Amino acid sequence: MHFEHSTLAQRVLFGSGRAAEHVAQEVARHDARNVMCIASDFERTFAETATASIEVKLWHSDVVQHVPIETAQRAREAASDAGIDLIVCIGGGSTTGLAKAVALTTGIPIIAVPTTYAGSEATNVWGLTEGATKTTGADDRVLPTAVIYDAELTLGLPVALSVSSGLNALAHCVDSLWAPRADPINQAMAAEGVRALADGLPRIVENPTGIEGRETALYGAYLSAVAFASAGSGLHHKICHVLGGTFNLPHAETHATVLPYVLAFNGPAAPDAAARLAGALRAGMAGSSIPLPGEDPALEAVDLLNSLRATLNAPTALQDYGFTEADIPEAVKRIVQAAPPSNPAEVTESRMEQLLRSALVGDTPAVRTAGSLIQGAGQ
Protein backbone atom coordinates (compact mmCIF):
# COMPACT_ATOMS: atom_id res chain seq x y z
CA MET A 1 0.00 0.00 0.00
CA HIS A 2 1.45 3.35 -1.03
CA PHE A 3 -0.34 6.70 -1.14
CA GLU A 4 -0.18 10.35 -0.07
CA HIS A 5 -3.23 11.82 1.66
CA SER A 6 -3.95 15.45 2.59
CA THR A 7 -6.47 16.39 5.28
CA LEU A 8 -7.85 19.93 5.25
CA ALA A 9 -7.84 21.90 8.50
CA GLN A 10 -11.36 22.91 9.48
CA ARG A 11 -13.65 23.03 12.51
CA VAL A 12 -17.03 21.30 12.32
CA LEU A 13 -19.84 22.18 14.73
CA PHE A 14 -22.85 19.88 14.43
CA GLY A 15 -26.07 20.33 16.38
CA SER A 16 -29.73 20.80 15.51
CA GLY A 17 -31.14 24.08 16.77
CA ARG A 18 -27.71 25.42 17.72
CA ALA A 19 -26.74 27.44 14.63
CA ALA A 20 -27.03 30.87 16.27
CA GLU A 21 -24.98 29.74 19.27
CA HIS A 22 -22.28 28.24 17.08
CA VAL A 23 -22.13 31.22 14.69
CA ALA A 24 -21.67 33.59 17.63
CA GLN A 25 -18.96 31.32 19.04
CA GLU A 26 -17.04 31.37 15.75
CA VAL A 27 -17.43 35.13 15.23
CA ALA A 28 -15.96 35.65 18.71
CA ARG A 29 -13.14 33.21 17.99
CA HIS A 30 -12.21 35.25 14.90
CA ASP A 31 -12.55 38.50 16.89
CA ALA A 32 -14.51 39.81 13.90
CA ARG A 33 -15.90 43.35 13.92
CA ASN A 34 -17.38 43.70 10.42
CA VAL A 35 -19.35 40.65 9.35
CA MET A 36 -20.76 40.16 5.86
CA CYS A 37 -23.62 37.67 5.59
CA ILE A 38 -24.13 36.16 2.15
CA ALA A 39 -27.57 34.61 1.71
CA SER A 40 -30.04 34.67 -1.16
CA ASP A 41 -33.45 36.21 -0.69
CA PHE A 42 -34.90 32.70 -0.42
CA GLU A 43 -32.42 31.88 2.37
CA ARG A 44 -32.86 35.14 4.30
CA THR A 45 -35.18 33.69 6.95
CA PHE A 46 -32.71 30.86 7.73
CA ALA A 47 -29.88 33.38 7.74
CA GLU A 48 -31.61 35.63 10.24
CA THR A 49 -32.12 32.63 12.52
CA ALA A 50 -28.47 31.63 12.30
CA THR A 51 -27.16 35.17 12.88
CA ALA A 52 -29.60 36.10 15.67
CA SER A 53 -26.79 36.39 18.22
CA ILE A 54 -24.36 38.52 16.19
CA GLU A 55 -24.34 41.92 14.49
CA VAL A 56 -24.24 41.79 10.71
CA LYS A 57 -22.71 44.85 9.06
CA LEU A 58 -23.51 43.90 5.45
CA TRP A 59 -26.20 41.64 4.00
CA HIS A 60 -25.50 40.47 0.45
CA SER A 61 -28.16 38.56 -1.50
CA ASP A 62 -26.91 38.73 -5.12
CA VAL A 63 -26.42 34.95 -5.43
CA VAL A 64 -26.39 33.26 -8.87
CA GLN A 65 -25.71 29.59 -9.61
CA HIS A 66 -22.34 28.68 -11.14
CA VAL A 67 -20.98 32.04 -9.80
CA PRO A 68 -20.67 34.28 -12.87
CA ILE A 69 -17.51 36.38 -12.71
CA GLU A 70 -19.58 39.58 -12.73
CA THR A 71 -21.50 38.42 -9.65
CA ALA A 72 -18.26 37.58 -7.89
CA GLN A 73 -16.79 40.99 -8.65
CA ARG A 74 -19.81 42.82 -7.23
CA ALA A 75 -19.54 40.83 -3.99
CA ARG A 76 -15.80 41.50 -3.75
CA GLU A 77 -16.33 45.23 -4.16
CA ALA A 78 -19.12 45.25 -1.57
CA ALA A 79 -16.89 43.47 0.95
CA SER A 80 -14.01 45.85 0.32
CA ASP A 81 -16.16 48.98 0.59
CA ALA A 82 -17.59 47.80 3.94
CA GLY A 83 -14.22 46.80 5.43
CA ILE A 84 -15.42 43.23 5.97
CA ASP A 85 -13.19 40.99 8.09
CA LEU A 86 -15.37 37.84 8.21
CA ILE A 87 -17.93 36.26 5.87
CA VAL A 88 -20.80 34.13 7.12
CA CYS A 89 -22.45 32.34 4.19
CA ILE A 90 -25.79 30.67 4.82
CA GLY A 91 -27.43 28.57 2.09
CA GLY A 92 -26.62 26.10 -0.63
CA GLY A 93 -23.70 25.54 -2.96
CA SER A 94 -24.17 28.75 -4.94
CA THR A 95 -24.08 30.82 -1.76
CA THR A 96 -20.95 29.07 -0.52
CA GLY A 97 -19.45 29.40 -3.99
CA LEU A 98 -19.92 33.17 -3.95
CA ALA A 99 -18.29 33.43 -0.52
CA LYS A 100 -15.35 31.45 -1.87
CA ALA A 101 -15.06 33.80 -4.84
CA VAL A 102 -14.69 36.71 -2.42
CA ALA A 103 -12.18 34.86 -0.26
CA LEU A 104 -10.14 33.85 -3.30
CA THR A 105 -9.03 37.42 -3.98
CA THR A 106 -9.38 39.03 -0.54
CA GLY A 107 -8.34 36.31 1.89
CA ILE A 108 -11.33 37.11 4.14
CA PRO A 109 -12.12 34.00 6.23
CA ILE A 110 -15.44 32.19 5.82
CA ILE A 111 -17.83 30.55 8.25
CA ALA A 112 -20.21 28.32 6.29
CA VAL A 113 -23.71 27.36 7.40
CA PRO A 114 -25.12 24.92 4.81
CA THR A 115 -28.86 24.56 4.26
CA THR A 116 -28.52 21.91 1.52
CA TYR A 117 -26.34 18.83 1.01
CA ALA A 118 -24.06 20.43 -1.62
CA GLY A 119 -20.83 19.85 0.32
CA SER A 120 -18.95 22.88 -1.00
CA GLU A 121 -18.50 24.06 2.58
CA ALA A 122 -15.97 21.30 3.30
CA THR A 123 -13.73 21.72 0.26
CA ASN A 124 -11.04 24.13 -0.90
CA VAL A 125 -12.46 23.99 -4.44
CA TRP A 126 -13.77 27.16 -6.10
CA GLY A 127 -15.66 27.63 -9.36
CA LEU A 128 -16.30 30.68 -11.54
CA THR A 129 -18.16 31.00 -14.84
CA GLU A 130 -17.08 33.46 -17.51
CA GLY A 131 -18.85 33.45 -20.84
CA ALA A 132 -19.77 29.82 -21.53
CA THR A 133 -16.91 28.26 -19.58
CA LYS A 134 -16.85 27.24 -15.94
CA THR A 135 -13.37 27.17 -14.43
CA THR A 136 -12.55 25.42 -11.19
CA GLY A 137 -9.49 25.30 -9.00
CA ALA A 138 -8.26 24.54 -5.50
CA ASP A 139 -6.95 27.13 -3.07
CA ASP A 140 -6.79 26.89 0.71
CA ARG A 141 -7.88 30.53 1.01
CA VAL A 142 -11.43 29.52 0.04
CA LEU A 143 -11.78 26.70 2.57
CA PRO A 144 -14.21 27.83 5.29
CA THR A 145 -12.46 27.92 8.64
CA ALA A 146 -15.55 26.46 10.26
CA VAL A 147 -18.70 24.68 9.13
CA ILE A 148 -21.86 24.83 11.19
CA TYR A 149 -24.42 22.10 10.56
CA ASP A 150 -27.94 22.55 11.90
CA ALA A 151 -30.53 20.17 10.47
CA GLU A 152 -33.35 22.50 11.51
CA LEU A 153 -32.16 24.96 8.86
CA THR A 154 -32.77 22.30 6.18
CA LEU A 155 -36.44 21.74 7.08
CA GLY A 156 -37.52 24.38 4.57
CA LEU A 157 -35.69 22.64 1.74
CA PRO A 158 -38.36 21.09 -0.54
CA VAL A 159 -38.26 17.31 -0.86
CA ALA A 160 -37.39 17.41 -4.58
CA LEU A 161 -34.44 19.72 -3.97
CA SER A 162 -33.40 17.68 -0.93
CA VAL A 163 -33.25 14.62 -3.19
CA SER A 164 -31.27 16.25 -5.98
CA SER A 165 -28.92 17.96 -3.53
CA GLY A 166 -28.42 14.68 -1.66
CA LEU A 167 -27.67 12.81 -4.87
CA ASN A 168 -25.18 15.54 -5.73
CA ALA A 169 -23.46 14.65 -2.44
CA LEU A 170 -23.61 10.97 -3.33
CA ALA A 171 -21.93 11.84 -6.63
CA HIS A 172 -19.04 13.35 -4.65
CA CYS A 173 -18.68 9.95 -2.98
CA VAL A 174 -18.80 7.97 -6.19
CA ASP A 175 -16.28 10.22 -7.93
CA SER A 176 -13.97 9.93 -4.91
CA LEU A 177 -13.67 6.18 -5.48
CA TRP A 178 -11.70 6.70 -8.72
CA ALA A 179 -10.80 10.38 -8.98
CA PRO A 180 -7.17 11.37 -9.75
CA ARG A 181 -6.07 11.44 -6.09
CA ALA A 182 -8.28 8.63 -4.75
CA ASP A 183 -6.69 6.79 -1.83
CA PRO A 184 -7.87 4.30 0.84
CA ILE A 185 -8.71 7.06 3.32
CA ASN A 186 -11.00 9.12 1.13
CA GLN A 187 -12.48 5.92 -0.33
CA ALA A 188 -13.42 4.84 3.19
CA MET A 189 -15.04 8.21 3.93
CA ALA A 190 -16.84 8.08 0.58
CA ALA A 191 -18.27 4.64 1.34
CA GLU A 192 -19.56 5.79 4.75
CA GLY A 193 -20.99 8.88 3.06
CA VAL A 194 -22.86 6.67 0.59
CA ARG A 195 -24.24 4.55 3.42
CA ALA A 196 -25.45 7.60 5.35
CA LEU A 197 -27.04 9.25 2.31
CA ALA A 198 -28.73 6.02 1.22
CA ASP A 199 -30.15 5.83 4.74
CA GLY A 200 -31.06 9.48 5.25
CA LEU A 201 -32.55 10.54 1.91
CA PRO A 202 -35.42 8.01 1.86
CA ARG A 203 -36.30 9.09 5.41
CA ILE A 204 -36.53 12.70 4.23
CA VAL A 205 -38.89 11.66 1.43
CA GLU A 206 -41.01 9.67 3.87
CA ASN A 207 -41.01 12.35 6.58
CA PRO A 208 -39.78 15.77 5.34
CA THR A 209 -40.06 17.36 8.79
CA GLY A 210 -38.16 14.61 10.59
CA ILE A 211 -34.82 15.73 12.03
CA GLU A 212 -33.08 12.33 12.09
CA GLY A 213 -33.22 11.79 8.33
CA ARG A 214 -31.92 15.28 7.66
CA GLU A 215 -29.14 14.96 10.25
CA THR A 216 -28.05 11.69 8.66
CA ALA A 217 -28.04 13.27 5.21
CA LEU A 218 -25.99 16.25 6.46
CA TYR A 219 -23.48 13.86 8.02
CA GLY A 220 -23.22 11.96 4.74
CA ALA A 221 -22.89 15.16 2.75
CA TYR A 222 -19.99 16.30 4.93
CA LEU A 223 -18.16 13.00 4.48
CA SER A 224 -18.76 13.16 0.74
CA ALA A 225 -17.25 16.62 0.55
CA VAL A 226 -14.18 15.72 2.62
CA ALA A 227 -13.56 12.69 0.40
CA PHE A 228 -14.03 14.78 -2.72
CA ALA A 229 -11.70 17.53 -1.49
CA SER A 230 -8.95 14.95 -1.09
CA ALA A 231 -9.61 12.82 -4.18
CA GLY A 232 -10.26 15.64 -6.67
CA SER A 233 -12.69 15.96 -9.55
CA GLY A 234 -13.41 12.80 -11.50
CA LEU A 235 -15.23 12.32 -14.78
CA HIS A 236 -18.67 12.87 -13.28
CA HIS A 237 -17.83 16.36 -12.06
CA LYS A 238 -16.07 17.28 -15.29
CA ILE A 239 -19.22 16.36 -17.21
CA CYS A 240 -21.47 18.32 -14.86
CA HIS A 241 -19.21 21.38 -14.90
CA VAL A 242 -19.52 21.45 -18.68
CA LEU A 243 -23.29 21.02 -18.58
CA GLY A 244 -23.69 23.69 -15.91
CA GLY A 245 -21.12 26.22 -17.07
CA THR A 246 -21.73 25.99 -20.82
CA PHE A 247 -25.47 25.27 -20.94
CA ASN A 248 -26.55 26.77 -17.57
CA LEU A 249 -28.20 23.56 -16.38
CA PRO A 250 -29.17 23.56 -12.68
CA HIS A 251 -26.37 22.23 -10.51
CA ALA A 252 -27.97 19.66 -8.20
CA GLU A 253 -30.45 18.27 -10.73
CA THR A 254 -27.70 17.82 -13.31
CA HIS A 255 -25.51 15.87 -10.89
CA ALA A 256 -28.47 13.74 -9.81
CA THR A 257 -29.34 12.92 -13.43
CA VAL A 258 -25.84 12.18 -14.75
CA LEU A 259 -24.61 10.05 -11.82
CA PRO A 260 -25.95 6.59 -12.83
CA TYR A 261 -24.63 6.95 -16.37
CA VAL A 262 -21.09 7.71 -15.20
CA LEU A 263 -21.29 4.82 -12.75
CA ALA A 264 -22.42 2.48 -15.53
CA PHE A 265 -19.56 3.74 -17.71
CA ASN A 266 -16.75 3.54 -15.14
CA GLY A 267 -17.91 0.66 -12.94
CA PRO A 268 -16.77 -2.26 -15.14
CA ALA A 269 -13.28 -0.75 -15.37
CA ALA A 270 -13.07 -0.37 -11.56
CA PRO A 271 -14.67 -3.52 -10.11
CA ASP A 272 -13.21 -3.07 -6.61
CA ALA A 273 -14.64 0.45 -6.38
CA ALA A 274 -17.98 -0.76 -7.75
CA ALA A 275 -18.10 -3.54 -5.18
CA ARG A 276 -17.34 -1.09 -2.37
CA LEU A 277 -20.10 1.21 -3.62
CA ALA A 278 -22.59 -1.65 -3.89
CA GLY A 279 -21.82 -2.71 -0.32
CA ALA A 280 -22.30 0.82 1.00
CA LEU A 281 -25.60 1.25 -0.86
CA ARG A 282 -26.84 -2.10 0.39
CA ALA A 283 -25.93 -1.20 3.99
CA GLY A 284 -27.70 2.16 3.78
CA MET A 285 -30.79 0.68 2.16
CA ALA A 286 -31.06 -2.23 4.60
CA GLY A 287 -34.68 -3.02 5.37
CA SER A 288 -35.96 -1.59 2.11
CA SER A 289 -36.83 -3.51 -1.04
CA ILE A 290 -33.51 -3.77 -2.86
CA PRO A 291 -32.25 -6.02 -5.67
CA LEU A 292 -30.58 -9.29 -4.73
CA PRO A 293 -26.76 -9.31 -4.85
CA GLY A 294 -25.42 -9.85 -8.34
CA GLU A 295 -22.27 -11.53 -9.61
CA ASP A 296 -21.06 -8.43 -11.48
CA PRO A 297 -20.21 -5.59 -9.05
CA ALA A 298 -20.77 -2.82 -11.60
CA LEU A 299 -24.18 -4.14 -12.56
CA GLU A 300 -25.10 -4.60 -8.90
CA ALA A 301 -24.00 -1.05 -8.03
CA VAL A 302 -26.02 0.43 -10.89
CA ASP A 303 -29.09 -1.61 -9.97
CA LEU A 304 -28.85 -0.56 -6.32
CA LEU A 305 -28.40 3.09 -7.27
CA ASN A 306 -31.37 2.91 -9.64
CA SER A 307 -33.46 1.31 -6.89
CA LEU A 308 -32.55 4.16 -4.54
CA ARG A 309 -33.31 6.74 -7.23
CA ALA A 310 -36.71 5.16 -7.86
CA THR A 311 -37.50 5.34 -4.14
CA LEU A 312 -36.53 9.01 -4.14
CA ASN A 313 -38.32 9.85 -7.41
CA ALA A 314 -35.04 11.35 -8.56
CA PRO A 315 -34.46 13.39 -11.74
CA THR A 316 -33.95 11.15 -14.78
CA ALA A 317 -33.52 13.19 -17.99
CA LEU A 318 -31.36 16.18 -18.92
CA GLN A 319 -33.99 17.31 -21.41
CA ASP A 320 -36.18 18.24 -18.45
CA TYR A 321 -33.67 20.97 -17.56
CA GLY A 322 -33.08 22.53 -20.96
CA PHE A 323 -30.38 20.32 -22.49
CA THR A 324 -31.06 19.43 -26.13
CA GLU A 325 -29.76 17.02 -28.74
CA ALA A 326 -28.22 19.96 -30.56
CA ASP A 327 -26.07 20.66 -27.49
CA ILE A 328 -24.44 17.22 -27.46
CA PRO A 329 -21.56 17.83 -29.95
CA GLU A 330 -20.28 20.90 -28.09
CA ALA A 331 -20.66 19.15 -24.74
CA VAL A 332 -18.79 16.07 -25.96
CA LYS A 333 -15.88 18.14 -27.22
CA ARG A 334 -15.53 19.99 -23.93
CA ILE A 335 -15.92 16.85 -21.79
CA VAL A 336 -13.25 14.91 -23.67
CA GLN A 337 -10.86 17.83 -23.24
CA ALA A 338 -11.57 18.05 -19.49
CA ALA A 339 -11.69 14.33 -18.62
CA PRO A 340 -8.99 13.17 -16.17
CA PRO A 341 -6.34 11.02 -17.90
CA SER A 342 -6.54 8.62 -14.94
CA ASN A 343 -10.25 7.84 -15.45
CA PRO A 344 -10.77 4.05 -15.15
CA ALA A 345 -12.51 3.73 -18.54
CA GLU A 346 -11.17 5.32 -21.71
CA VAL A 347 -13.03 8.53 -22.50
CA THR A 348 -13.75 8.92 -26.21
CA GLU A 349 -16.07 11.17 -28.17
CA SER A 350 -18.26 8.28 -29.25
CA ARG A 351 -18.64 6.97 -25.69
CA MET A 352 -19.43 10.42 -24.29
CA GLU A 353 -21.96 10.98 -27.04
CA GLN A 354 -23.66 7.70 -26.13
CA LEU A 355 -23.64 8.61 -22.44
CA LEU A 356 -25.18 12.05 -23.07
CA ARG A 357 -27.79 10.71 -25.48
CA SER A 358 -28.93 8.24 -22.83
CA ALA A 359 -28.94 10.89 -20.09
CA LEU A 360 -30.78 13.32 -22.35
CA VAL A 361 -33.93 11.22 -22.48
CA GLY A 362 -33.51 9.14 -19.32
CA ASP A 363 -32.73 5.76 -20.89
CA THR A 364 -31.80 3.01 -18.46
CA PRO A 365 -28.02 3.25 -17.83
CA ALA A 366 -26.11 0.57 -19.73
CA VAL A 367 -23.19 -1.23 -18.09
CA ARG A 368 -20.31 -1.98 -20.44
CA THR A 369 -18.84 -5.40 -19.67
CA ALA A 370 -16.37 -7.34 -21.81
CA GLY A 371 -17.04 -5.14 -24.81
CA SER A 372 -20.82 -5.44 -24.67
CA LEU A 373 -23.61 -3.41 -23.11
CA ILE A 374 -25.71 -4.90 -20.32
CA GLN A 375 -28.79 -2.97 -19.32
CA GLY A 376 -29.22 -2.03 -15.67
CA ALA A 377 -32.45 -3.31 -14.21
CA GLY A 378 -33.55 -0.60 -11.88
CA GLN A 379 -34.75 2.48 -13.79
Report how far apart, in Å, the C-alpha atoms of 29 and of each of 86, 102, 111, 145, 257 are.
11, 21, 11, 11, 41
Residues in the chain: 379
User: What is the model's pLDDT at position 292?
Assistant: 66
User: What is the model's pLDDT at position 294?
Assistant: 67
* Amino acid in position 58: L
Query: Do residues 94 and 64 make contact, with C-beta atoms less than 8 angstroms apart?
Result: yes
**Cα of 158 vs its chain's centroid, Å:** 17
Sign of CA dihedral 62, 46, 249, 347: positive
The dotted CATH code for 159-375 is: 1.20.1090.10
- Angle among Cα 331, 69, 336 to the nearest 5 degrees reads 20
Q: How many CA atoms lie within 13 A of 309 on its CB side?
A: 30
Partnered with residue 134 across adjacent β-strands are 129
**DSSP for 138-169?**
E-GGGS-SEEEE-GGGGTTS-HHHHHHHHHHH
**DSSP for 193-216?**
HHHHHHHHHHHHHH-TT-HHHHHH
**H helix runs in 18-157, sequence order:** 19-30, 44-50, 69-81, 93-106
Distance CA 93, CA 117 (A): 8
* Beta strand 125-130 pairing with 110-114: unpaired
Mean pLDDT by 10 residues, the chain (379 residues): 86 97 98 97 94 98 94 98 98 96 98 95 93 88 98 95 96 96 96 98 97 97 94 95 93 95 96 95 82 80 94 97 97 97 96 96 79 44
Beta strands in the chain (DSSP E): 11-14, 35-38, 58-60, 86-91, 110-114, 125-130, 133-138, 146-149, 366-369, 372-375
Full-model pTM: 0.91
DSSP-assigned letter for residue 129: E
Cα(first)–Cα(last) distance of the chain, in Å? 37
Distance CA 211, CA 200 (A): 10
Name the CATH architecture for the domain at 11-154.
Answer: 3-Layer(aba) Sandwich (3.40)
Partnered with residue 113 across adjacent β-strands are 90
Distance CA 154, CA 240 (A): 24
Q: For the chain, which residues make up each domain, given as ranges?
A: 11-154, 159-375
* Amino acid in position 165: S
User: What is the model's pLDDT at position 370?
Assistant: 42
Query: Do residues 169 and 197 make contact, with C-beta atoms less than 8 angstroms apart?
Result: yes
